[in-house]
């Protein structure tokens, strides 16, 4: 990788992320108050939404936009399936396999933001509809995972028959769907997108001192908190084990490769293809765990949360962002 690509890392917000990890490792008491973390996370979604939505209002809905959104939904549905079959080759607890699959089928908004900053700095544009792709990828993975977990439950029930004293306490599908679609952060992103579409460039201009100018500072704080969280999760790494650790770094690369192939086949513009790879490669550590904890209570959150947050997220930030760029430029021949 040439030096140019590593400039991604010499950016204050990214450096604050590493600082956060470091602070936890040396057991500092540094802490971002939870109320602020929650606010920053809503702020990030507002910023993505306003930017993507106003871009969409400007450009209109092209044929490529529709193709990308359909591809996004397909990938969010398919990734959990093949992930599950890979995972069950080694995992004894099949509920864990289902839950982990959900996080990898879904997406990480902060990875999306960091990649968008990276590629914009290189002068390569991407469409406002990529924010729509981000939206539509959140929920299908959850639904898939719940179906997989349901399959597991039936199978185990068959096997165990009369043994089953531990009754099935998982939520009914209807309630899961309600949670998946009304999740606060999910709605915030959708609403911001729609408001961006409705108010267009005018709305963007009004909001931009807040949502764009001071964005990097807010991102620095949010990534600092992410770093702190990653740092505290690192201690639980041994629970995760070598197999899942490997999964956490290889899977994003495989997923990005599949996305690359689709993007090339369907003729996406390079910037869009890159962002699509990022979406497919990233894993969810906010929305999915919150729903899956209810939907698949038998799965261990220390596994799926730690993998998405403490393995795949930093891997994508440090290696994935430049690597996928190498891949896309190799194929598109920039």
Partner 1 sequence: MTSDGQKMKKVEIVIEAVMLEEIISIIDQAGAGGYTILPTVTGRGYRGYRSGFELTNVFQNAMVFTLVDEEKALIISQEVKKLIQDYAGVIIITDADVVWPDYQKDR
Interface segment toward a copy of itself; rule CB under 8 A; list 35-43, 166-174, 234-242, 314-322: 35-43
Structure tokens at 217: 């500072």
φ and ψ at residue 59, rounded to 5 degrees: -85, -25
Measured between alpha carbons, how far is 257 from 320 in angstroms, rounded to an integer? 11
Least Cβ distance, residue 183 to partner 1 (angstroms): 11
Identify the DSSP state of 171. P
Q: How many residues bind partner 1 (CB under 8 A)?
A: 24
Q: Binding of partner 1 at residue 316 (CB under 8 A)?
A: no
Q: Which stretch binds a copy of itself (CB under 8 A): 13-21, 161-169, 273-281, 326-334?
A: 13-21
Q: Which of 21, 44, 48, 50 binds a copy of itself (CB under 8 A)?
A: 50
Is residue 110 a contact residue for a copy of itself (CB under 8 A)?
no
Q: Is 9 exposed, middle or buried (0-12, 13-18, 19+ CB in 10 A)?
A: middle
When binding is defined by CB under 8 A, the residue of 22, 67, 210, 293 that contacts partner 1 is 293
Confirm or reject binding of residue 187 to a copy of itself (CB under 8 A): yes
Alpha-helical segments (H) within 137-183: 138-160, 173-182
Tell the smallest beta-carbon distance from residue 170 to partner 1 (Å): 9
Q: Binding of partner 1 at residue 146 (CB under 8 A)? A: no
Contacts of 149 (CB under 8 A, 6+ apart): 95, 98, 99, 170, 295, 296, 298, 299
**Contact partner, 11, from a copy of itself, partner 1, none, Cβ < 5-8 Å per class:** a copy of itself
Token pair belonging to 282 = 């990233």
Binding marks (x or -) toward partner 1, 151..180, rule CB under 8 A? Answer: ---------------xx-x-----------
Question: Judged by CB under 8 A, does residue 272 bind partner 1?
Answer: no
Choose the one of partner 1, a copy of itself, none that binds residue 169, judging by a C-beta under 5 to 8 angstroms depending on kind.
Answer: partner 1
Cα separation of 34 and 52, whole Å? 27
CB nearer to a copy of itself: pick between 179 and 272:
179
Q: Which does 286 bind (CB under 5 to 8 A by kind): partner 1, a copy of itself, none?
A: partner 1
Of 143, 314, 150, the residue nearest 233 (C-alpha): 314
Neighbour tally for 268: CB within 10 Å: 25
């Amino acid at each position: 990788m040439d030096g140019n690509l590593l400039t991604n890392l010499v950016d204050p917000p990214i450096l604050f992320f590493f600082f956060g990890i470091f602070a936890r490792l040396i057991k500092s008491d540094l802490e971002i108050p939870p109320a602020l973390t929650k606010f920053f996370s809503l702020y990030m979604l507002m910023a993505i939404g306003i930017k993507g939505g106003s871009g969409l209002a400007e450009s209109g809905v092209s044929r490529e936009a529709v193709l990308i959104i359909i591809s996004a939904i397909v990938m969010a549905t398919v990734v959990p399936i093949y992930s599950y079959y890979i995972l069950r080759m080694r995992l004894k607890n099949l509920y864990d396999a289902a839950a982990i699959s959900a996080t990898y089928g879904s997406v990480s908004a902060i990875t999306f933001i960091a990649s968008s900053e990276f590629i914009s700095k290189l002068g390569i544009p991407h469409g406002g509809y990529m924010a729509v792709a981000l939206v539509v990828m959140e929920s299908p993975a959850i639904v898939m995972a719940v179906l997989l977990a349901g399959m597991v439950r039936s199978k185990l029930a068959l096997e165990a028959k009369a043994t089953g004293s531990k009754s099935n306490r998982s939520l009914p599908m209807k309630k899961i769907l309600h949670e998946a679609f009304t999740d606060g952060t999910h709605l915030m992103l959708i609403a911001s997108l729609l408001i961006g579409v409705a108010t267009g460039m005018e709305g963007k201009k009004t909001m931009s001192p807040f949502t764009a100018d001071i964005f990097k500072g807010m991102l620095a704080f949010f990534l600092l908190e992410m770093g702190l969280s990653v740092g505290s999760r690192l201690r639980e790494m041994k629970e995760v084990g070598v197999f899942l650790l490997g999964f956490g770094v290889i899977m994003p690369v495989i997923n990005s490769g599949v996305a690359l192939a689709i993007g090339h086949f369907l003729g996406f513009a390079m910037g869009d293809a890159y962002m699509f790879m990022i979406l497919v490669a990233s894993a969810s550590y906010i929305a999915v765990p919150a729903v899956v904890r209810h939907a698949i209570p038998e799965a261990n959150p220390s596994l799926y949360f730690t993998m998405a947050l403490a393995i795949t997220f930093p891997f994508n930030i440090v290696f994935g962002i430049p690597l996928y760029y190498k891949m896309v430029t190799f194929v598109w021949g920039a």
